[in-house]
Amino acid sequence: MNDNFIFANGERVAAILPSSLAEFLRTQGFVPGTVVVEHNGEAVAPSEFDARSVAAGDRLEIVRIVAGG
């Protein structure tokens, strides 16, 4: 069994690990500056995406930032 997965928005997602949060977001089609992320229950500032590591079994909540009027 492949243990290289995390949970993103409640779904099990295969990932290349270890990885930075920014790298994971890019591989999933997100532009890091356009999302808000909670990592294992902790809000992560976008300035920390490159330095924050994600590991097998981690849980992410990812929300796209949408502007409108």
Q: SS3 string of the chain?
A: CCCCEEEECCEEEECCCCEEHHHHHHHCCCCHHHEEEEECCEEECHHHCCCCEECCCCEEEEEECCCCC
Specify if 44 maps to a domain.
yes
pLDDT value at residue 2: 55
User: How many domains would you assign to the chain?
Assistant: 1
Confidence of residue 1 (pLDDT cuts 50, 70, 90): very low
- Structural domain including 58 reads 5-64
Specify if 69 maps to a domain.
no
Query: Per-residue pLDDT tens for 31-56?
Result: 988 999 999 999 999 999 999 999 99
Determine if the pTM surpasses 0.85: yes
User: Is the per-residue pLDDT at 69 higher than 70?
Assistant: no
pLDDT, average across residues 1-18:
89
